[in-house]
């Protein structure tokens, strides 16, 4: 196979469209990393498209060579295929040696590439490069003032021009000889932007010998720190909402089954895990289109988890009716079996689930408050799923029967509702929702055999807090728990916040033993 590939590639070798000079080859294939300095120098003399590509590959450690000192560029970290720059041929599965670089050289390449991007004729490349300049923490790494000045004079795009002005202000803020007026106008510009680098610059200006400048800087710094604390608070709320909406998704299925059948399914967490693994499997099947795979896996995960849930109901839970504690034990056993099954089938290690393009990135709201797309879409997704469940419960025949059985099983049966059928369907529905929750979770945490375990206790707490069998209780409970978690975390650390929440929950149950919104019933034994 490999031989044929090689054979074909030699037969159809195209005319060399990119020549690697001998000195460059030598410096790339030398075993010492020091000689890479030479290669970087040669490459940065002429920043052609090909040279920039090689620099990029070198930066990411994707440049390889064989025993004939032939250079190969690896496609990506995960792939085993290489491109030969001289022929643009693709070859796979070779034994090659890597041309490694030191971190200092990596930094050097980065600054070269940044500089070349700053002078790029492509607007979006240039905009990205200038944005990068604003993120640089230490201002010693910024380009010289002449460079920026030159760029400002050339710039036609308004947005980029604005950003360049801020970079200029960052640089000028370091030179007190520019005079008071100049410095104060710098502070104005920096305050308007207000990101981390700007705050650093303003803090430095606070120490200025000139009282006018230092006063102005102090004022700017305090207003910036105030707005930062506000946006931090909102960020925590947002994180809390996203965690809470995941908890709602995880707990809602549990809540429904508990409300209808009075049994707690300890294997619920493992059903969530199965949903997450479904995403991984489908992404393995269709690696070309991650986004589509994610959408396909929503119904698939529902079906997979629902199938397992119905199996559990049919073979175990049905035979333990009226014995809730035994059911709890039996389902716990099932959860152990499912976990071990996943470990044996897929390995005990975590699996990498890819996040599609459209979920990466973030929405910038203010200069220091940005919201990541995947969390935003999870909040949205949870609300949609929740709305669908509410509609099913309120508007369909099944929902009516489910509500009837959960309120009073005996009377519902007397009215001709087949309670056993409702049990199976409810269990399928609850388990399916767990699978869908797994799809959402696969986008924010590691997918591994213990995924379910880490969320199950939290979901239980949501059910206990919100009141079992009540959808709105689960929604409120989940969101409150999520937000409380995230607000406490920075104050007391992640573990302690969990403990505090648990103690708070135990105390809350003193007041309301059946949760926020208890189910109404007439039985004395409730």
Partner 1 sequence: MNELILQEKFLSKETKGFLLITTLFGILVVILSLLGESNPLHLPVYVVNLLGKYVTYAILALSVDMVWGYLGILTLGHCVFFALGGYVMGMYLTRSIGAQGVYGDPILPDFMVFLNWHELPWYWQGLQYFPLAAVLIVAVPSLLAFVFGKLAFSSRVSGVYLSIITQALTYAMMLAFFLNELGFGGNNGLTDFKTLLGFSLQTDGIRIVLFALSVLVLCLSYLLCRSVLISKLGRLCIAVRDAENRVRFIGYRVENVKLLIFVLSAAIAGIAGALYVPQVGIINPSEFSPVNSIEIIVCVALGGRGRLYGAVIGAILVHIAKTCFTNLMPEFWLFALGALFVLVTLFLKDGVAGMINSWINSHHAKTEMRMA
Expressed in percent and rounded to 5, the helix, strand and coil fractions of the chain are 70, 5, 25
172's CB contacts (< 8 A; 6+ apart) are 145, 178, 182, 183, 186
Beta carbon nearer to partner 1, 327 or 476 = 327
Using rule CB under 8 A, residue 346 touches partner 1: no
Quote the CA–CA distance of 216 and 348 in Å, as a whole number: 58
| Separation of CA 113 from chain center | 27
End-to-end Cα distance, the chain: 70
Tell me the two tokens of residue 482: 């999520």
Q: How far is the CB of 417 from partner 1 (least distance, A)?
A: 24
DSSP 86: T
365 phi, psi to nearest 5 deg: -100, -55
Using rule CB under 8 A, residue 349 touches partner 1: no
Q: Confirm if 452 and 343 have CB atoms less than 8 A apart.
A: no
Q: Confirm if 117 and 128 have CB atoms less than 8 A apart.
A: yes
Quote the CA–CA distance of 196 and 368 in Å, as a whole number: 8
**Binding residue (CB under 8 A) for partner 1 from 334, 378, 402, 429:** 334
Radius of gyration in angstroms for the set of CA atoms belonging to the chain, rounded to a whole number: 30
C-alpha dist (Å) from residue 213 to 166, 180, 206: 18, 6, 7
Q: Where in 469-498 is the site for partner 1 (CB under 8 A)? A: 493, 495-496, 498
Using rule CB under 8 A, residue 100 touches partner 1: no
Beta carbon nearer to partner 1, 85 or 473 = 473
**Sheet containing strand 71-74, strands side by side:** 89-92, 81-84, 71-74, 63-65, 97-98
Beta carbon nearer to partner 1, 51 or 339 = 339
302's CB contacts (< 8 A; 6+ apart) are 275, 432, 433, 435, 436
Tell me the two tokens of residue 172: 């000028």
Quote the CA–CA distance of 414 and 203 in Å, as a whole number: 76
Using rule CB under 8 A, residue 291 touches partner 1: no
Q: How far is the CB of 37 from partner 1 (least distance, A)?
A: 43
**Binding residue (CB under 8 A) for partner 1 from 51, 105, 339, 426:** 339
Using rule CB under 8 A, residue 178 touches partner 1: no
331's CB contacts (< 8 A; 6+ apart) are 263, 264, 265, 266, 267, 312, 316, 317
Using rule CB under 8 A, residue 110 touches partner 1: no
Q: How far is the CB of 343 from partner 1 (least distance, A)?
A: 7
**Binding residue (CB under 8 A) for partner 1 from 54, 167, 264, 475:** 264
Using rule CB under 8 A, residue 417 touches partner 1: no
Using rule CB under 8 A, residue 521 touches partner 1: no
Quote the CA–CA distance of 102 and 440 in Å, as a whole number: 39
Q: How far is the CB of 502 from partner 1 (least distance, A)?
A: 5
Part in contact with partner 1 (CB under 8 A); list of ranges 48-56, 57-65, 260-268, 287-295: 260-268
Q: How far is the CB of 475 from partner 1 (least distance, A)?
A: 20
Using rule CB under 8 A, residue 13 touches partner 1: no
Using rule CB under 8 A, residue 235 touches partner 1: no
Beta carbon nearer to partner 1, 228 or 486 = 486
| Separation of CA 215 from chain center | 41
Using rule CB under 8 A, residue 522 touches partner 1: no
Binding mask 296-325 for partner 1 (x = CB under 8 A): --------------------x--xx---xx
Quote the CA–CA distance of 335 and 309 in Å, as a whole number: 11
**Binding residue (CB under 8 A) for partner 1 from 329, 349, 411, 415:** 329
Using rule CB under 8 A, residue 161 touches partner 1: no
**Binding residue (CB under 8 A) for partner 1 from 25, 182, 343, 413:** 343
Say what the alpha-carbon torsion angle 357, 361, 364, 367 is, to the nearest 10 degrees.
-160
Quote the CA–CA distance of 296 and 195 in Å, as a whole number: 40
Q: How far is the CB of 445 from partner 1 (least distance, A)?
A: 18
SS (H, E, C) 126-139: HHHHHHHHHHCCCH
Using rule CB under 8 A, residue 361 touches partner 1: no
Q: How far is the CB of 505 from partner 1 (least distance, A)?
A: 8
**Binding residue (CB under 8 A) for partner 1 from 72, 238, 258, 517:** 258
**Binding residue (CB under 8 A) for partner 1 from 37, 66, 235, 326:** 326
Part in contact with partner 1 (CB under 8 A); list of ranges 39-47, 50-58, 60-68, 510-518: 510-518
Q: Where in 443-462 is the site for partner 1 (CB under 8 A)? A: 457, 460-461
**Binding residue (CB under 8 A) for partner 1 from 21, 140, 211, 510:** 510
Q: Confirm if 272 and 434 have CB atoms less than 8 A apart.
A: yes
Number of residues that bind partner 1 (CB under 8 A): 45
Coil/strand/helix, residue 142? coil
Beta carbon nearer to partner 1, 172 or 327 = 327
Q: How far is the CB of 426 from partner 1 (least distance, A)?
A: 17
Beta carbon nearer to partner 1, 512 or 520 = 512
Beta carbon nearer to partner 1, 64 or 308 = 308
Q: How far is the CB of 312 from partner 1 (least distance, A)?
A: 10
Q: Confirm if 250 and 458 have CB atoms less than 8 A apart.
A: yes
Strands, DSSP E only, in 299-361? Answer: none
Site residues (vs partner 1, CB under 8 A): 258, 262-264, 316, 319-320, 324-330, 332-337, 339-341, 343-344, 457, 460-461, 464, 493, 495-496, 498-499, 502-503, 505-507, 509-511, 513, 524-525
């Amino acid at each position: 196979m490999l031989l044929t590939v090689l054979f074909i590639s030699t037969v159809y070798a195209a005319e060399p469209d990119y020549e690697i000079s001998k000195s460059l080859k030598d410096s790339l294939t030398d075993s010492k990393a020091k000689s890479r300095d030479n290669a970087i120098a040669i490459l940065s003399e002429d920043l052609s498209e090909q040279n920039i590509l090689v620099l990029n590959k070198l930066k990411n450690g994707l440049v390889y060579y064989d025993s004939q000192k032939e250079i190969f560029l690896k496609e990506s970290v995960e792939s085993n295929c290489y491109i030969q720059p001289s022929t643009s041929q693709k070859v796979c599965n070779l034994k090659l040696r890597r041309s490694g670089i030191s971190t200092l050289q990596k930094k050097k390449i980065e600054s070269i590439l940044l500089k070349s991007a700053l002078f790029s004729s492509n607007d979006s490349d240039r905009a990205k490069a200038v944005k990068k300049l604003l993120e640089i923490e230490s201002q010693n790494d910024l380009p010289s003032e002449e460079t920026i000045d030159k760029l400002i004079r050339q710039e036609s795009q308004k947005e980029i021009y604005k950003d360049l002005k801020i970079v200029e202000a960052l640089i000028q803020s370091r030179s007190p000889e520019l005079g008071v007026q100049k410095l104060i106008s710098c502070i104005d510009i920096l305050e308007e932007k207000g990101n981390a680098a700007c705050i650093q610059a303003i803090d430095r200006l606070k120490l200025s010998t000139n009282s006018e400048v230092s006063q102005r800087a102090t004022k700017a710094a305090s207003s910036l720190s105030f707005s930062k604390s506000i946006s931090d608070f909102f960020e925590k709320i947002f994180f809390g909402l996203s965690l809470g909406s995941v908890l709602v998704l995880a707990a809602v299925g549990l809540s429904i089954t508990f409300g209808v059948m009075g049994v707690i399914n300890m294997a619920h967490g493992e059903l969530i895990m199965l949903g997450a693994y479904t995403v991984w499997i489908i992404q393995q099947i269709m690696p070309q289109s991650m986004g589509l795979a994610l959408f396909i896996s929503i119904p698939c995960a529902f079906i997979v988890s629902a199938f397992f849930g119905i199996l559990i109901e049919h073979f175990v839970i049905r035979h333990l009716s009226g014995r809730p504690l035994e059911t709890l034990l039996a389902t716990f056993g099932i959860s152990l079996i499912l976990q071990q099954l996943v470990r044996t089938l897929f390995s005990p290690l975590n699996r990498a689930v890819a996040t599609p393009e459209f979920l990466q990135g973030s929405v910038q709201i203010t200069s220091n408050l940005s919201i990541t797309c995947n969390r935003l879409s999870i909040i949205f997704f949870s609300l949609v799923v929740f709305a669908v469940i509410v509609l099913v419960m309120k508007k369909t025949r099944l929902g009516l029967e489910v509500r009837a059985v959960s309120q009073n099983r005996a009377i519902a049966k007397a009215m001709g509702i087949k309670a056993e059928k409702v049990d199976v369907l409810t269990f399928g529905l609850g388990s399916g929702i767990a699978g869908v929750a797994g799809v959402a979770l696969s986008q924010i945490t590691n997918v591994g055999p213990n995924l379910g375990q880490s969320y199950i206790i939290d979901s239980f707490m949501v059910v206990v807090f919100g009141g079992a069998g009540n959808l709105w209780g689960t929604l409120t409970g989940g969101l409150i728990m999520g937000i409380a978690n995230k607000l406490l975390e920075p104050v007391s650390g992640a573990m302690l916040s969990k403990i505090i929440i648990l103690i708070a929950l135990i105390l809350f149950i003193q007041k309301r033993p059946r949760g926020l919104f208890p189910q109404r019933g007439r039985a004395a034994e409730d």
